[in-house]
Structure 1
């Protein structure tokens, strides 16, 4: 459970005493800080801002948890593929005061902007349900993290990392005059990179100054301070006590105070009778002293969060820790904020998303049941002998697609040579948020949200790129240290070579250099990344490897290529002077090229996608037109015949007027998907390449030279990959869709003025 939805219940039941006058003062000051006057007067009668209506599209993924007043659900925003959480509050069950408490949480979330605090993005009203859109943490919470240790203590380095982040978050909310009142391990969330986010402000209260006191007894019993247990007034130091309890749990993996009933628990808290002592053989005396100071019975003697950050065990590493937090935050895929002041319209579309694969003797598409809910597929890739899938929650799965029980050489990353026939999570990447995967013939590369690169599989050609490992079989993912200082934007793999595009626009390649596929002006092999010279004035936006060649797409839609041009599959044979004799196909042409060369035949198009196969290539231009070139022996160009075509072909026929969105090429076949949700296949149908049943006439002798629709019903295709005779595809069907237009009166108090003000200040 990624959100403590028990605290969602408490949002509605909390006992905050902030008056309406306090709300007005708070919102007025916030408005002035933002440089705004009254925004309400600028709205049109339709509820849009200056006539605008912004629509944000969401797809529900899975329910994270349930509470008495609603659910916490994971959604994917389709605009940027980011993941967010919608925290529901059922307003039907709330009194007017409880509705004010809900407003309080939104107003507090809206003013808290910090790298270690759960971010607030939007809120929507769906009839009588308030939906608060929050940042998603894909690593669970600290409570789960402690339980997963199974008695193995955290290192002091990890504890200080956690302590720094928690103290930073608490210091920030206290500076904003906010008392959290429910700090506990369940409300401290983590990303897979161990970035901490303090969340759940349903019980939070704004105090006028650091000397102000609160009186209401709220919070979770195990973390209640002595002053709370005794019914005394309390202030920010009560949060420090709770923070001390959290740190004690991190150090001991045990609750600070424990009892069989609330009365005994309060007695132990007041007496300072904690469950055990922190192990001084494992942790430094300074660290232990800090925790016990947070648990001082006298609130005045407890340090502030800022004072904790100034202690030597943190302050001497503070710059390094700050930089690490900033780097991890910048690597996270975060939703784009609303561009209009009004709460935008939410369009929620429920879809069924399924993964199918075929080929290699499987004539009919095989459905994979592994990829459902939170494990639904986001990105797929086919290798010569294996498949790889990245899920929406950034986990990598791999499995074998070979006949019989052939041994793997590490390309699955599971630490052995077994041929797993069903998708299996790559456990060694646990804690890494994987955003992209690329498969070679017998190796795999993947890129994380931190722009780091991991590789595994056969290093026969040096493709793994790790010093001293040449020729080895790497059975588990290894980090390529070369790219730690060169953040990776994208990776692509050929059969035996790798090409990387960095965030700074540099290109690096390595592996087999035959035919000049590495673009390094030679045919040498390289076992470590080598920088590729980019033609002056060109800015590369993506790289795509074929089996023995490479394409480079520029930001202006031009295409550069290097490598083997057999069958003119790089498109280099026309429009280039000084053609060399090449007898292989009986025509003049360039057999191969070792430097990045402009594909002049494509210059009249603005290419958006390039998809090389074994002997031919397909491309999509900015108008959604499909273009093919290369070998046509099996009709894989889709031009009605099996003749040689030296130029590029713009496919009309079934694609006339259609916008092609996805295309991929195998050894002798092509699969494409269109914007109107049709999927087409053509070329060699042997061994199930086209996903067409053999008993219906699509056996090995059939080679449709015209695109034929496959899958009887309409499907949207988020991703598609072909390699050799294999295809893997993600297909979506829309089940239902609804539009949510917020109705501010749904959570209004009186005239609804106060809720409108909340919206205006976000």
Structure 2
């Protein structure tokens, strides 16, 4: 245990802040004395453990374990370093919260409470003292389920419990109550967030109970004022339920904000985007695809909108329009007209049609990436949405379930993601605070977490970076982080030295000249890469290509199929400049399974003796 220790004598509870030995993670141990407890009190303590076991939500304090020690029940749970919402309000002093912040906090509480009610549980003690914040004071988590009650379908509870300041009118009158009592408490919390200047909380709640509380300032919208009034209706039947609350436009707007490079080259296919200027029309997007059974570039149909990015996986062919809409291409019956690049051969055996993805009204996409049977999207608000196959845990929702439509990644709510990348079966992302998260399969240590275990939820990569990360790059079984000073960190499989970790034995006196794989991120060692400023690092199955800020291109790894762009077919495990590109200034590179693509202004080069 650490020094922090809090004692609640009224309830015989001692709270310890502890550090777990195996991973140094901070957690809370709630020690509840059972020696002098009545049978009902022991039941309440056991009830908290049972309730916590049922709940799994990013806005609810996570339960780890419970055990008996020295005549006390000890509950191990998540530590929220940001303190309580009550403390947060108190520290604000006379500074009012803006409406956007209030709604951001409120919607997170509603989402958590909705999860609680979905599991047929009443919280019955919702208050700002039981709402906790993360270290950034952005993500809220509901805690303290000591007096919760599990309900059978459509049942009502009768026991009068809860904090007096937040007890609903029906509880005060001894009437049966249900989820609407939690809605009342939720309304009190929302009103308290607005009435931040009110220091006499009992007096404030007394006004609420009598239905004559002060009207909300004109500083806030009519929608917010109406929401508070409806939630604090003395008649529980007239209060909205949580689903109706979330469906309100003021909440939907916040909910979407909470949850929500040109060209992509996969192992078997290529899809590339170019722009062409017409004398009679503005800049237009043209998308071509080839690979697999498509032997020459095939023009894909596009909507009457500019395409700003394309991506593809094993079965997905996707893109983003300039307006932020998500578009997909599917194979269509023969007969559709298509156009080829000049000099190419007709490839009419496969044709495609496009469609916009449903269910994304009001969401603007700015980045998309595809893995093996799954897709990851990034909204303009920095919210990740995923859909597709959940077989590798790459969707990040904590399970292996498939998702048909883009679903918000709840585990990263409260974090603004600025960049992401997909491998075949793992994902990496960078937040605006320059923290790196990874999830999916962990074979070969590709997640950089120090193990080969899979992660079903985004997990913070435990690294102390000398400089801020600017981009992440996922390969088939490896990953890279490029820092803002042009250096790079890599992890995963290093076969054929595709991570650039091997040292030339003739140039170095170091004992370790080769590494098969690394489980944590470490700097590139192979010369001359550490001496250059990298802007992009892409991986194939057994080779890699690095792009420098000078526009020069270096390749290394296996050259079995000529993918290194060299005159010799020998493997080139040490990075070498691609001289076959001549003096061209390369602006983008990428790798497939056995080929490499380099794009310069207005042209495209491929490396492979098969092409």
Calculate the TM-score normalised by the size of structure 2.
0.51
Q: 1:598 aligned to 2:523?
A: yes
**Counterpart of 1:382?**
312
SS of residue matched to 2:559 = coil
Q: What's the counterpart of residue 434 of structure 1?
A: 365
Following the alignment from structure 2 to structure 1, what is the Cα–Cα distance between the partners of residues 359 and 388? 14
The answer to whether the Cα contact below 8 Å between 2:560 and 2:569 also exists between their aligned partners in 1 is yes
> Structure 1 pair 473/577, CA: closer, same or farther in 2 (3 Å)?
farther
Measure, in 2, the Cα distance between the counterparts of 1:323 and 1:402. 40
Are 1:635 and 2:562 counterparts?
A: yes
Q: CA 1:619–1:310 in 2, change beyond 3 Å: closer, same or farther?
A: closer
Partners of 2:359 and 2:253 in 1: CA distance: 23
The answer to whether the aligner puts 1:648 opposite 2:575 as a matched pair is: yes
CA positional deviation for 1:491: 1.5
Q: 1:560 to 1:636 in 2, by over 3 A?
A: same
Distance 1:642 1:307 in 2: 69
Alpha-carbon distance between aligned partners in 1 of 2:597 and 2:219, rounded to the nearest angstrom: 59
Q: Cα–Cα, structure 1 residues 597 and 400, in superposed 2: closer, same or farther, change >3 Å?
A: farther
Look up the match of 2:375. 444
Higher share of residues assigned helix: 1
For 1:476 and 1:330, the matched residues in 2 are separated by 17
Instruction: Give the Cα–Cα distance (whole angstroms) in 2 for the partners of residues 312 and 305 of structure 1.
Output: 9
CA shift, 1:423, in A, is: 2.6
Are 2:438 and 1:506 aligned? no
Contact map agreement 1:514 1:524 (CA 8 A) in 2: yes
Rounded to whole Å, the distance in 1 between the matches of 2:219 and 2:463 is 49
2:287 to 350, 355, 358: 355
Structure 1: 5+ residue stretches without partners: 1-114, 117-156, 158-303, 333-347, 405-418, 581-587, 691-762
Residue number in structure 2 paired with 1:256: none
Once the two structures are superposed, the pairs formed by residues 608-623 of structure 1 within 5 Å of their partners are 608-623=535-550
Q: Is the 8 A contact 1:535 1:596 kept in 2?
A: no
Q: 1:595 to 1:578 in 2, by over 3 A?
A: farther
Report which structure shows greater RCO (CA 8 Å, sep ≥6).
1
Task: Describe the SS at the equivalent of 1:423.
Answer: strand
C-alpha change, 1:652 and 1:433, in structure 2 (3 Å) is: same
Q: Confirm whether residue 370 of structure 1 aligns to residue 302 of structure 2.
A: yes
Equivalent residue for 2:396?
Answer: 465
Question: C-alpha distance in 2, partners of 1:646/1:573?
Answer: 8
Report if aligned partners of 1:510, 1:528 keep a CA contact under 8 Å in 2: yes
Equivalent position of 2:415 in the other structure: 486
Distance 1:427 1:386 in 2: 16
Kindly tell me: are residues 368 and 310 of structure 1, through their superposed partners in 2, closer, same or farther at Cα, counting changes over 3 Å? closer
The alpha-carbon distance between structure 1 residues 684 and 445, as it changes in their structure 2 partners (threshold 3 A), is farther
How big is the shift at 1:399?
A: 3.5
CA distance in 1, matches of 2:351, 2:394: 23
Instruction: Give me the whole-angstrom Cα distance separating, in 1, the residues matched to 2:509 and 2:363.
Output: 49
Match of 2:226 among 302, 310, 313: 313
1:509 counterpart SS class = strand
Using the alignment, how far apart are the partners of 2:223 and 2:597 within structure 1?
Answer: 60
CA distance in structure 2 between the partners assigned to 1:380 and 1:311 by the alignment: 40
Q: CA deviation at 1:380?
A: 1.0
Please give the secondary structure, in 2, of the residue aligned with 1:466. coil
Verify the 8 A CA contact 1:579 1:589 in the aligned structure 2: no
Query: Helix, strand or coil for the counterpart of 1:603?
Result: helix
Aligned-residue offset at 1:420: 11
Distance 1:434 1:513 in 2: 28
**Contact kept? 2:439, 2:447, Cα under 8 Å:** yes
Taking the aligned partners of 1:432 and 1:330, their CA distance within structure 2 comes to: 11
Corresponding residue of 2:553 = 626
Q: Residue 469 of structure 2 aligns with which residue?
A: 540
Tell me the equivalent position of 2:66: none
Matched, 1:555 2:484: yes
How far the C-alpha of 1:487 sits from its partner, in A, is 1.3
- Residue 660, structure 1, aligned to residue 586, structure 2: yes
Change (3 A) 1:577 1:384: farther
> Runs of 5+ in structure 2 lacking a partner?
1-98, 101-109, 111-216, 231-245, 261-279, 335-349
Q: Is the 8 A contact 2:563 2:595 kept in 1?
A: yes
Change (3 A) 1:465 1:525: same
Distance 1:608 1:420, change over 3 A: same
The SS at the match of 1:380 is: strand
Q: Deviations over 1:392-431 (max 9, x none)?
A: 1111122357999xxxxxxxxxxxxxx9953321112232
1:654-693 per-residue CA deviation (whole Å, 9 max, x = no partner) reads x332210111111111111113x221112153xxxx4xxx
Whole-Å Cα distance in 2 between the matches of residues 621 and 350 of structure 1? Answer: 32
Residue 595 of structure 2: aligned partner:
669
Q: Higher mean Cα deviation, 569-578 or 519-528?
A: 569-578
Residue of structure 2 equivalent to 1:495: 424
Can you list the C-alpha shifts for 1:631-674, whole angstroms capped at 9, x where unaligned? Answer: 11111010112111121011123x33221011111111111111
> Superposition RMSD on alpha carbons, in Å?
3.8
Q: Hey, what does 1:476 align to over in structure 2?
A: 405
Q: Note closer, same or farther for the CA distance 1:355–1:577 as it changes in structure 2 (3 Å cut).
A: farther
**Following superposition of structure 1 onto structure 2, how do residues 151-300 of structure 1 map, counting pairs within 5 Å?**
none
Please say if residues 386 and 401 of structure 1, whose CA atoms lie closer than 8 Å, have aligned partners that are also in contact: no
